[in-house]
Structure formats: C-alpha cells, structure tokens
Amino acid sequence: MPLGVFGRPEDIACRVHRFLMPEARFTTGVVLYVDGDTDAATRPDAQLTAMTL
C-alpha cells in the first residue's frame, strides 16, 4: 500500500459519481486507477517520463 492506508468505499464512490455526472459526457476510453498508487508502485516501467528533446 504505497499510501499506507486502506481505501474506503467512499474513495471509489466519488470517482464513479464523477463519471456519472452529465459534465462527463465527453469522457471516453478512460482507465482510471483508484488504488492508492498501488499500480504505479508495482509497474514503475509503465509510468510516463519527461520527454527529452
């Protein structure tokens, strides 16, 4: 648990609620991780990095 706490149901519910709002009608094809950063911690090679020109 990178954040050091267990998630609560309301942590998930607020994200679901945001996508159910009419203002989210233009949002498509989104994968939203609501896992307290566990996915990022277990896959550091898949994270975005700064682009070098």
Which tokens belong to 24? 């989210």
Indicate the pTM of the whole model: 0.52
Q: State residue 22's pLDDT score.
A: 93
Q: State residue 44's pLDDT score.
A: 63
Q: HSE-up of 38 (CA within 13 Å, CB side)?
A: 9
Q: Give me the residue spans of the domains in the chain.
A: 9-46
Burial class for 36, CB neighbours closer than 10 Å (0-12, 13-18, 19+): middle
1-53: pLDDT as tens digits: 567 788 889 988 988 898 899 998 888 877 778 887 777 777 766 655 555 55
Q: State residue 49's pLDDT score.
A: 58
